[in-house]
């Protein structure tokens, strides 16, 4: 196999090394060996953790191989990981022919220093109607940058400081690298006086704001917004009404819905209604400005208006300065709140003197998300939000669960906590992780961050910044890592332990589940999970509601395939009481039949299904079935997903009725690459010692008999490094059925070997590979009853490894 510019054995050792793969991909690109570059970059993207530059490398190789759509998809993936990545944005600007060019140009304006790239970005944005562009870099003592424009007569740069504003008028510089026939440009430098409070830099063109940048204090210790001495005469925080702070910027409808829900909630708050403080953060939406002014005029809300956009941190801190006392709730303007949410958050907050922050459950709240954590669950209607909250208030009443930090979509903060730590840090870019920083500072002062799973708040998520979110998160994460280096590791441990799972399960269990009939799919979390998921996909395409029951040891996890409830409920079978509870849960799913995908399901589960008089359809997915399946009544038919599976089952269980129901299979068309050497592709079902040994011996024999032939393994093995130390083997890393074409096509496979281990039927990866457009070799589990296609190699099922290897090599050698 051609390994690009790296050919010696020592260089091949450690092929799983991320750095080595990246280096080899770059070297192959430089040597214009684009196929080798793709191989290295593709593997690097698959063995993770992947960074944006890994996908940029693969995009470059794909582009050179004239796989344009695949290259653009790689750039999109890179920008999903890091929207500010310069290499990905540069290529997107050069290669794309749609709106992605404009997005890339915007991303480059503020970050790139290459003048040729900046000129191209400006030209792209000028075609879309933009008239001015700017970028700046902030230092402790000054701010420097550039501004370019087309139609303005005057450019002003101003710095708002504690006791006034410093303003300068900028003149165009015809010698500036960004200046041209129709574009004026100039550089600027603004000195910053020392300050313990934030400063604001504003660039304007003919009175129109080009850029506003809030600058963190440039003296070491910013003042606390609140201090104990300031509030020495104030009553305890629990004795005063809380204030809900809502920064407002964009998204009219979501904001209107948020305030409507807030006003309804306050109307039902009793004798001590909370205060609503809206902060108009220089919204560009006239309808929002008008709406907030109307609410303020009728004294429905209190209202602050920022002359310029200060961002989330600036808006919140300004609001905190205007709150005399009491606890606060930070609330996003794209949330829907239920009645009583403030009072119940306050009850949790004051249930212990060391609680500093409280966060409720939400559909979109990272670790606080329900029903699936760390996922964007669907936003519910107002009525559904109220119902989920009502059920949560009963199912999880009194629960208080410690968490690493809260999240600002709805964050209750006690007065005592704020008095100890001050407001939000001004060192973060707007909108993300400053709430986490506040919670971690609170914890450092001895306060606890907790979740109140008895409260549920709806949250759209990312309405204000949309595509900027990922970039802002990454930038702010660097700051957070420096301050709290153990935080991310703690979060990973929390996600593994999942202390919120019992609360989610209780809520899941207590909700009203959909009344429509369902199909129960019995699978296994560790074995053949892909087959169970594939079957669920088939049923959903037919309009049926599929519920996965995935076994992990003696526990069965429920998961509705469409993402609705239940997602967190578990079934146990250790006691009679647990079995009775499992029966009640299954009855609530309204099952009309059970499909068994796992070859060896829990006998107690099968017995329960029989007691519930449910039709049972066992599918043949492996070469053997456990006693729980084979002991089903003789009249219970076995189901086969293909003619091969049916033929195998008829031989293995001749007295059992076998029902054929062909599963749909994705097409796999692999067109040959003209002039390129053809390889042998191997698609194993999963890493196993047996397949590793067979592939290793096959690689050795093929190197002896056909030294020009290479082997491409689409998947992973037990020891990738060992196999890739052979000069004729390359391993792509894990692949899914829907991406196998993109993985294999650049390798120019002329033959494909799959389904050569134990019998496996219905496996989406193997079934797709079996139907590839190139000749395919496989063990013939049908014992010759299913005729192979022309060119295919049906290997006898009882052939030993050596016989299989000899047969495959002779088959490849005949070409």
Is residue 381 very low, low, confident or very high in pLDDT (cuts 50, 70, 90)? very high
- Expressed in angstroms, the distance from the first to the final Cα of the chain is 17
Question: Mean pLDDT, to the nearest integer, of 258-281?
Answer: 91
Quote the CA–CA distance of 793 and 776 in Å, as a whole number: 6
Is residue 421 very low, low, confident or very high in pLDDT (cuts 50, 70, 90)? very high
Question: Mean pLDDT, to the nearest integer, of 674-691?
Answer: 90
Sort 270 into a burial class: Cβ within 10 Å, 0-12 / 13-18 / 19+.
Answer: exposed
Confidence (pLDDT) at 197? 81
Confidence (pLDDT) at 727? 85
Cα angle vertex 514, ends 511, 520, to 5°? 105
Quote the CA–CA distance of 608 and 602 in Å, as a whole number: 10
Bridge partners (DSSP) listed for residue 780:
796
Confidence (pLDDT) at 239? 55
The answer to whether 134 touches 120, Cβ cutoff 8 Å, is no
Question: Mean pLDDT, to the nearest integer, of 476-497?
Answer: 84
Q: Per residue in 767-781, pLDDT tens?
A: 999 999 999 999 999
Q: Per residue in 711-734, pLDDT tens?
A: 999 999 999 999 998 889 999 999
Average pLDDT score, the chain: 89
Is residue 813 very low, low, confident or very high in pLDDT (cuts 50, 70, 90)? confident
Question: Mean pLDDT, to the nearest integer, of 579-608?
Answer: 95
Question: Mean pLDDT, to the nearest integer, of 113-133?
Answer: 94
User: Which percentage of the chain shows pLDDT scores above 90?
Assistant: 74
Confidence (pLDDT) at 815? 62
Q: Per residue in 540-581, pLDDT tens?
A: 999 999 999 999 988 999 999 998 889 989 999 999 999 999
Whole-number Cα distances in Å, 313 to 47, 309, 316, 566, 607: 38, 11, 5, 37, 58
Quote the CA–CA distance of 272 and 267 in Å, as a whole number: 10
- DSSP notation for 674-721: TTSPPEEEEE-SS--HHHHHHHHHHHHHHHHH-TT--EEESS--S-HH
Q: Per residue in 279-325, pLDDT tens?
A: 999 899 999 999 999 999 999 999 999 987 888 888 999 999 999 78
Task: Tally the C-alpha atoms within 13 A of residue 477's C-alpha that lie toward its C-beta.
Answer: 10
Whether residue 233 is predicted with pLDDT greater than 60 in this model: the reply is: no
Whether residue 470 is predicted with pLDDT greater than 70 in this model: the reply is: no
Quote the CA–CA distance of 631 and 645 in Å, as a whole number: 20
Q: Per residue in 36-80, pLDDT tens?
A: 999 999 999 998 788 899 999 999 999 999 999 999 999 999 998
Q: Per residue in 206-226, pLDDT tens?
A: 888 888 888 888 886 544 444
Whether residue 12 is predicted with pLDDT greater than 60 in this model: the reply is: no
Is residue 638 very low, low, confident or very high in pLDDT (cuts 50, 70, 90)? very high
Which run of H or E residues covers position 116? helix 115-127
Whether residue 814 is predicted with pLDDT greater than 80 in this model: the reply is: no
Whether residue 803 is predicted with pLDDT greater than 80 in this model: the reply is: yes
- Largest pairwise CA distance in the chain: 94
**What pTM was estimated for this model as a whole?**
0.83
User: Which percentage of the chain shows pLDDT scores above 70?
Assistant: 93
Confidence (pLDDT) at 525? 86
Best CA proximity match to 538, nearest among 606, 619, 616, 610: 619
């Amino acid at each position: 196999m051609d390994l690009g510019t790296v050919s010696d054995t020592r260089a091949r050792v450690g092929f799983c090394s991320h750095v080595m793969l990246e280096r080899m991909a770059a070297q192959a690109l430089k040597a214009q060996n684009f196929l080798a570059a793709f191989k290295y970059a593709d593997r690097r993207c698959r063995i993770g953790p992947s960074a944006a530059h890994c996908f940029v490398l693969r995009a470059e190789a794909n582009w050179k191989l004239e796989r344009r759509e695949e290259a653009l998809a790689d750039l999109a993936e890179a920008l999903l990981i890091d929207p500010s990545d310069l290499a990905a944005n540069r290529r997107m600007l050069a290669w794309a022919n749609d709106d992605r060019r404009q997005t890339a140009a915007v991303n480059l304006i503020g970050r790139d220093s290459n003048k040729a790239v900046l000129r191209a970005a400006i030209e792209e944005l000028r075609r879309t109607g933009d008239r001015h562009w700017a970028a700046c870099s902030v230092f402790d003592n000054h701010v420097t940058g550039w501004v370019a424009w087309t139609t303005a007569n005057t450019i002003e740069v101003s710095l708002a400081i504690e006791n006034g504003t410093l303003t300068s008028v900028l003149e165009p510089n015809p010698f500036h690298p960004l200046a041209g026939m129709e574009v004026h440009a100039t550089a600027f430098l603004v000195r910053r006086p020392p300050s313990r409070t934030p400063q604001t830099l504003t660039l304007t063109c003919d009175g129109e704001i080009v850029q506003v940048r809030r600058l963190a204090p440039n003296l070491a210790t910013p003042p606390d917004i609140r201090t104990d001495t300031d509030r020495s005469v104030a009553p305890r925080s629990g004795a005063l009404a809380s204030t809900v702070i809502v920064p407002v910027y964009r998204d009219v409808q979501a904001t209107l819905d948020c305030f409507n829900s807030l006003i309804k909630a306050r109307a039902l708050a009793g004798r001590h209604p909370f205060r609503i403080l809206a902060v108009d953060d220089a919204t560009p939406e006239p309808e929002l400005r008008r709406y907030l002014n109307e609410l303020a005029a009728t004294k429905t809300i209190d209202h602050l208006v920022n002359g310029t956009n200060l961002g989330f941190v600036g808006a919140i801190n300004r609001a905190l300065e205007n709150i005399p006392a009491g606890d606060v709730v930070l609330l996003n303007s794209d949330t829907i709140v239920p009645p009583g949410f403030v009072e119940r958050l306050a009850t949790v907050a004051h249930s212990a003197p060391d609680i500093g922050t409280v966060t409720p459950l939400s559909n979109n709240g990272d670790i606080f998300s329900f029903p699936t954590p760390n996922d964007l669950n669907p936003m519910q209607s107002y009525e559904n939000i109220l119902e989920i909250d009502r059920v949560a208030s009963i199912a999880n009443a009194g629960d208080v669960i410690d968490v690493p930090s809260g999240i600002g979509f709805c964050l209750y903060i006690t007065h005592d906590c704020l008095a100890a730590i001050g407001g939000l840090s001004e060192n973060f870019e707007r909108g993300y992780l400053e709430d986490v920083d506040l919670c971690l500072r609170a914890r450092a002062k001895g306060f606890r961050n907790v979740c109140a799973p008895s409260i549920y708040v709806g949250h759209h998520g990312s309405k204000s910044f949309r595509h900027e979110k990922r970039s802002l998160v990454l930038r702010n994460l660097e700051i957070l890592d420096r301050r709290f280096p153990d935080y991310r590791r703690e979060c990973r441990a929390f996600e593994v332990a999942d202390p919120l799972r019992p609360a989610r399960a209780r809520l899941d269990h207590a909700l009203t589940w959909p009344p429509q009939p369902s199909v129960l799919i019995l699978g296994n979390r560790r074995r053949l999970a892909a087959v169970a998921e594939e079957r669920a996909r088939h049923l959903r395409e037919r309009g049926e509601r599929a519920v996965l029951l995935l076994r992990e040891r003696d526990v069965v996890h429920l998961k509705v395939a469409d993402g609705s409830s239940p997602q967190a409920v578990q079934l146990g079978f250790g006691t009679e009481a647990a079995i009775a509870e499992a029966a009640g849960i299954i009855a609530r799913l309204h099952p009309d039949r059970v499909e068994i995908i796992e070859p060896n399901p829990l006998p107690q589960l099968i017995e329960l299904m029989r007691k519930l008089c449910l039709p049972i359809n066992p599918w043949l997915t492996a070469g053997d079935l456990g006693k729980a399946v084979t002991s089903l009544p003789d009249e219970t038919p076995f189901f086969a997903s293909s003619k091969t599976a049916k033929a195998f089952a008829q031989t293995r269980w001749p007295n059992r009725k076998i029902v054929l129901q062909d599963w749909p299979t994705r097409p796999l068309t692999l067109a040959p690459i003209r002039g390129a050497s053809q390889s042998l592709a191997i698609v194993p079902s999963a890493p196993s010692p047996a397949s590793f040994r067979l592939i290793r011996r096959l690689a050795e024999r093929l190197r002896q008999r056909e030294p020009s032939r290479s082997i491409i393994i689409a998947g992973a093995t037990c020891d990738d490094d060992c196999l890739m130390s052979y000069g004729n083997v390359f391993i792509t890393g894990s692949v899914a059925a829907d991406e196998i074409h993109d993985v294999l096509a650049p390798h120019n496979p002329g033959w494909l070997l799959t389904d050569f281990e134990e019998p496996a039927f219905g496996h989406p990866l193997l079934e797709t590979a079996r139907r590839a457009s190139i000749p395919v070799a496989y063990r013939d589990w049908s014992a010759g009853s299913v005729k192979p296609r022309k060119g295919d190699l049906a290997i006898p099922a009882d052939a030993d490894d050596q016989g299989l290897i000899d047969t495959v090599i002779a088959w490849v050698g005949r070409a």
